């Protein structure tokens, strides 16, 4: 009887463990499926735009105008974007340029940052979202956009163009995936002329935003965005450690010195995939 009683008492815990096991297996399966499908994300070998725009004539002005009109402190007004013909025209212009013809590295980096951010907005306007696991695959991988007559997706732009071709960790604070925990979408397009200052300002804004990163100097704990976990190699390759990289942009000089010299425990904050702005109204 005692053994029977102990079994009955333990059953709820056993059931919970089984339930957690199935949940973890489901997450693992989704992760493996996503990684398998991501492997199918390819980079264009060449670009062949129709009605091509010469590199010297290409401009991000239309995108800049829409950012200034529809983005306030990182909050995006998607209904207003949906009705702005300037944004539609800019998306079309991206398909008329061969980005390999742009004259400098800064031109190309500004182009791909702006293209990523424009396509991220377009994905939301087209009814996609990165909120759930399956949504993420559609939003980042299976939804194609056109650049220079070739198909690209958000995953390929980030992982196969921006990261390996430019080796610039600050891009992680410039590209925005339409979510609350992402960096704030700036109210201006990136330009070759202002790129260095824009990237530094984006890094400072992101790292010093307590909703995205915060530091407990008493307990010596750095609560960092998951972006630093997902792309740790990009930051450590640049500065040796995550905290040394972060210290470059921390506004408080004393804290910056501590992060360089004093052992801190790093904990990563939960990522909020909720929309970074005013949602489109469901069509009736």
Structure confidence by residue, pLDDT tens digits, 150-188: 999 999 999 999 999 999 999 999 999 999 999 999 999
Work out the average pLDDT over 51-56: 97
At 106-150, the pLDDT tens digits run: 999 999 999 999 999 999 999 999 999 999 999 999 999 999 999
Residue 131 is classified by DSSP as: S
Percent residues over pLDDT 70 in the chain: 85
Task: Give the residue from 229, 234, 219, 211 showing the smallest Cα distance to 268.
Answer: 229
Place of tokens 């990289």: 245
Calpha distance 277→121 (Å, rounded): 10
Give 147's strand partners: 150
Helical H runs in the chain?
2-38, 61-70, 78-82, 85-94, 105-125, 133-136, 154-156, 163-166, 195-207, 226-230, 232-239, 242-247, 253-261
The CA-to-CA distance between both ends of the chain, in Å, stands at 62
Instruction: Give the pLDDT band of residue 284 (cuts 50, 70, 90).
Output: low
- Contact between 81 and 135 under an 8 Å Cβ cutoff? The reply is no
CA-CA distance, 274 to 131, in Å (whole number)?
6
Query: Going by C-beta distance under 8 Å and a sequence separation of 6 or more, which residues neighbour residue 95?
Result: 49, 50, 146, 147, 148, 149
Residue 283 pLDDT grade (very low, low, confident, very high; cuts 50, 70, 90): confident
Give the pLDDT mean for 188-197.
Answer: 98
Residue recorded with tokens 């991220």: 120
* pLDDT for 23 beyond 90: no
- Residue 43 pLDDT class (50, 70, 90 cuts): confident
């Amino acid at each position: 009887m005692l053994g029977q009683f102990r079994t009955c008492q333990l059953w709820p815990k056993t059931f919970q463990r089984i339930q957690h096991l199935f949940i973890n297996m489901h997450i693992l399966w989704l992760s493996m499926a996503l990684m398998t499908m991501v492997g199918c994300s390819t980079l264009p070998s060449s670009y062949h735009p129709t009605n091509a725009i010469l590199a010297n004539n290409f401009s991000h002005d239309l995108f800049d105008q829409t950012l200034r009109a529809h983005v306030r402190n990182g909050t995006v007004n998607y209904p207003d974007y949906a009705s702005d013909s300037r944004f539609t025209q800019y998306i079309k212009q991206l398909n008329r340029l061969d980005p390999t013809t742009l004259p400098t590295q800064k031109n190309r980096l500004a182009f791909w940052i702006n293209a990523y951010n424009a396509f991220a907005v377009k994905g939301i306007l087209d009814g996609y979202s990165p909120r759930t696991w399956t949504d993420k695959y559609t939003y980042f991988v299976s939804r194609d956009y056109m650049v220079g007559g070739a198909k690209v997706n958000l995953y390929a732009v980030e992982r196969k163009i921006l990261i390996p071709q430019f080796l610039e960790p600050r891009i992680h604070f410039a590209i925005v995936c339409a979510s609350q925990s992402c960096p704030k979408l700036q109210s201006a397009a990136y330009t070759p002329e202002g790129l260095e200052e824009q990237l530094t300002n984006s890094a400072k804004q992101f790292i010093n935003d307590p909703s995205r990163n915060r530091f407990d100097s008493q307990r010596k704990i750095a609560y960092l965005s998951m972006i630093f976990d997902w792309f740790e190699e990009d930051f450590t390759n640049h500065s040796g450690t995550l905290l040394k990289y972060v210290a470059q942009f921390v506004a408080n000089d004393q804290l910056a010195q501590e992060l360089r010299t004093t052992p801190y425990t790093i904990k990563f904050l939960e990522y909020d995939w909720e929309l970074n702005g005013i949602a489109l109204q469901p069509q009736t």
